[in-house]
């Protein structure tokens, strides 16, 4: 009797030990995979490794950050992980979405104005396109940019544009072949490039959040000096670029920066930071789109 019990006990212990070893083995087998992923990251991203390190410290908890790591590890996965919107998806902008589908589902701009008229007394009229909004909404408290951004980009989950269309800037904006960022439908004759962007908010503070150490703005200018003779100088923030790249000058800053960050086959800003406009722009409380220099 006693011997039998001991035998069962021993068998039991053996069984548990076996399970334990098997369990540990499984765990150990998986761990190196994770290490490998991290070890590969800088390699996959070659030159921009430091930049990523800096970024990582800023936002380790961000889910977006994981997406970025995945994307870096295997760029073929990037499409699945980050939700990119392509600038050619709604080629006409406003009127690509604001159409009359049926009597009940009338989303035309005219119907939207009628709804706003019922709601708060907006002028009621037939309207064909955004140039008409622009005429009545020049600079000021209710400038066209402010009203368009407020309607589509505020209110979080309550806002259909955010939930159904990724809240993407590229539903309305596009880059011309001259690197001018325009509103589709307002720049009728422009040749548009196809760019893509994911709506990530990495909550960057300024250019310096990414441009640190080897990638500091001063070093970027030095590299550009070697490449094509860009003036070489010490620079402390993106504001300093405006000295030469004035908005109304020959080479405005938005053109050179949009080109550098959003175009090109293997642009690492697009691959690793989702090509996100929010890395540089932010909607402030008054509805104004600002630039984080
Ligand atoms: C990708 C599709 C899409 C594009 C492009 C788009 N909109 Fe909208 N628009 C929406 C959606 C979705 C809503 C509803 C937002 C909400 O839930 O309040 C909306 C709402 C509106 C409203 C109603 C606001 C209100 O409070 O009733 C107006 C007016 C409007 N859009 C005008 C425009 C104009 C002008 C443009 C171009 C500059 C434009 N939209 C581009 C999808 C789009
Ligand atoms: C005929 C001139 C006119 C046209 C065209 C027009 N608006 Fe307006 N809009 C106004 C005026 C005036 C107000 C202020 C009305 C008020 O506050 O009672 C206004 C207010 C608004 C507001 C509310 C702004 C706020 O925050 O109080 C929105 C949103 C708006 N317009 C969007 C549009 C859009 C989008 C279009 C084009 C589809 C458009 N409007 C076309 C004259 C116009
Ligand atoms: C629903 C369409 C729509 C969406 C979505 C949209 N914009 Fe705009 N944006 C406009 C319109 C319309 C203007 C005004 C254009 C004009 O009057 O020439 C504008 C103007 C701007 C301007 C210039 C403002 C100024 O002071 O002159 C910036 C910067 C800008 N948008 C950035 C963004 C960014 C970044 C996003 C995404 C986070 C975004 N926009 C999303 C329609 C949109
Ligand atoms: C979220 C990170 C991030 C932010 C914010 C950012 N950059 Fe960059 N920047 C990058 C990456 C990544 C590249 C490399 C793009 C590529 O693959 O060519 C780059 C490239 C550049 C280049 C090199 C262009 C060339 O042709 O060699 C300059 C200059 C530059 N950025 C300036 C700026 C300025 C000025 C700002 C602020 C307005 C800014 N960046 C904001 C990540 C960022
Ligand atoms: C002292 C004046 C000066 C300052 C300051 C300056 N730039 Fe430039 N930049 C130029 C000139 C001039 C060119 C045209 C050079 C050429 O094409 O040979 C240029 C060209 C560029 C280009 C290439 C444009 C293209 O053809 O695609 C980029 C990118 C650029 N600058 C970014 C910046 C950034 C970012 C800053 C701030 C960190 C900056 N620059 C500060 C004078 C300046
Ligand atoms: C690397 C930083 C950077 C990124 C990324 C970026 N922008 Fe900009 N953008 C700028 C700067 C700098 C300006 C010029 C300064 C200003 O006007 O405030 C500008 C200006 C603009 C303007 C006004 C152009 C004009 O002619 O007045 C629009 C519209 C705009 N950006 C839209 C976008 C959209 C949409 C995206 C994403 C697809 C984007 N930007 C991504 C830095 C950036």
The pLDDT tens digits for 193-207 are 999 999 999 999 999
**Ligand 1 within 6 A of CB of 146:** no
Among 25-34, 48-57, 186-195, whose mean pLDDT is lowest?
25-34
Which ligand has the shortest distance to the CA of 132? Answer: 2
Calculate mean pLDDT across residues 20-48: 32
Nearest to 195 by CA among 145, 245, 269, 250: 269
Residue 5 confidence (pLDDT): 52
Q: Whose CA is nearest to atom 30 of ligand 6?
A: 181
Residues at CB less than 6 angstroms from ligand 5: 217, 221, 228-231, 235, 240-241, 243-245, 251, 256, 259-260
Structure tokens at 195: 């760019």
Q: 113 or 24: whose pLDDT is higher? A: 113
Among 35-44, 50-59, 87-96, 154-163, whose mean pLDDT is lowest?
35-44
Read off the pLDDT of residues 231-258 as tens digits, 9 standing for 90 and up: 999 999 999 999 999 999 999 999 999 9
**Ligand 4 within 6 A of CB of 204:** yes
End-to-end CA separation in angstroms for the chain: 83
Cα(198)–Cα(87) distance, rounded to whole angstroms? 11
Residue 187 confidence (pLDDT): 92
**Ligand 1 within 6 A of CB of 112:** yes
Cα(213)–Cα(218) distance, rounded to whole angstroms? 9
Residue 37 confidence (pLDDT): 31
Domain boundaries, the chain: 44-81+203-293
Task: Provide the 3-class DSSP secondary structure of residue 194.
Answer: coil
> If you measure from the C-alpha of residue 229 to the centroid of ligand 5, how many angstroms do you get, rounded to a whole number?
9
Residue 48 confidence (pLDDT): 36
pLDDT at 13 over 70: no
Q: Whose CA is nearest to atom 36 of ligand 5?
A: 241
Q: How does residue 79 score in pLDDT terms, banded at 50, 70 and 90?
A: low
> If you measure from the C-alpha of residue 148 to the centroid of ligand 1, how many angstroms do you get, rounded to a whole number?
8
Q: How does residue 80 score in pLDDT terms, banded at 50, 70 and 90?
A: low
**Ligand 1 within 6 A of CB of 167:** no
Q: 7 or 44: whose pLDDT is higher? A: 7
Nearest to 147 by CA among 179, 166, 165, 172: 172
pLDDT at 20 over 50: no
> If you measure from the C-alpha of residue 289 to the centroid of ligand 2, how many angstroms do you get, rounded to a whole number?
18
Calculate mean pLDDT across residues 82-89: 96
Q: 13 or 122: whose pLDDT is higher? A: 122
Calculate mean pLDDT across residues 29-44: 28
Q: 266 or 48: whose pLDDT is higher? A: 266
Read off the pLDDT of residues 105-152 as tens digits, 9 standing for 90 and up: 999 999 999 999 999 999 999 999 999 999 999 999 999 999 999 999
Cα(38)–Cα(177) distance, rounded to whole angstroms? 37
Residue 61 confidence (pLDDT): 30
Structure tokens at 65: 């950050």
Indicate the angle between helix axes 2-44 and 49-58, nearest 10 degrees: 120
Calculate mean pLDDT across residues 208-219: 97
Pocket test for ligand 5, best of 206, 218, 230, 264 (most atoms within 8 A of CB): 230
Cα(188)–Cα(168) distance, rounded to whole angstroms? 21
Which ligand has the shortest distance to the CA of 265? Answer: 4
**Ligand 4 within 6 A of CB of 270:** no
Which ligand has the shortest distance to the CA of 115? Answer: 1
């Amino acid at each position: 009797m006693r011997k039998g019990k001991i035998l069962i006990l021993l068998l039991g212990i053996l069984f548990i030990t076996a399970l334990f070893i098997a369990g540990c083995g499984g765990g150990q087998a998986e761990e190196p995979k994770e290490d490998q992923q991290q070890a590969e990251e800088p390699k996959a991203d070659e030159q921009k490794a430091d930049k990523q390190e800096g970024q990582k410290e800023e936002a380790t908890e961000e889910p977006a950050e994981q997406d970025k790591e995945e994307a870096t590890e295997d760029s073929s996965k990037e499409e699945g992980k980050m939700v990119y919107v392509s600038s050619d998806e709604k080629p006409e902008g406003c009127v690509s979405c604001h159409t009359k589908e049926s009597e009940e589902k009338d989303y035309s701009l005219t119907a939207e104005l009628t709804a706003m008229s019922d709601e708060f007394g907006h002028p009621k009229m037939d309207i064909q396109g955004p140039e008409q909004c622009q005429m009545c909404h020049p600079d000021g408290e209710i400038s066209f940019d402010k009203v368009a951004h407020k309607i589509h980009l505020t209110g979080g989950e309550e806002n259909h544009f955010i939930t159904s269309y990724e809240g993407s800037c590229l539903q309305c904006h596009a880059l011309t072949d001259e690197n001018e960022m325009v509103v589709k439908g307002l720049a009728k004759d422009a040749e548009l490039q196809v760019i893509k962007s994911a709506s990530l908010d990495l909550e960057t503070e300024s250019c310096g959040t990414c441009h640190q150490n080897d990638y500091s703005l001063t070093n970027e200018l030095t590299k550009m000096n070697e490449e094509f003779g860009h003036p070489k100088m010490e620079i402390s923030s993106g504001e300093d670029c405006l000295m030469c790249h004035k908005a109304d000058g020959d080479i405005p800053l938005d053109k050179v920066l949009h080109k550098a960050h959003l175009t090109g086959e293997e642009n690492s800003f697009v691959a690793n930071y989702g090509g996100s406009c929010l890395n540089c722009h932010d909607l402030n409380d008054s509805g104004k789109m600002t630039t984080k220099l």
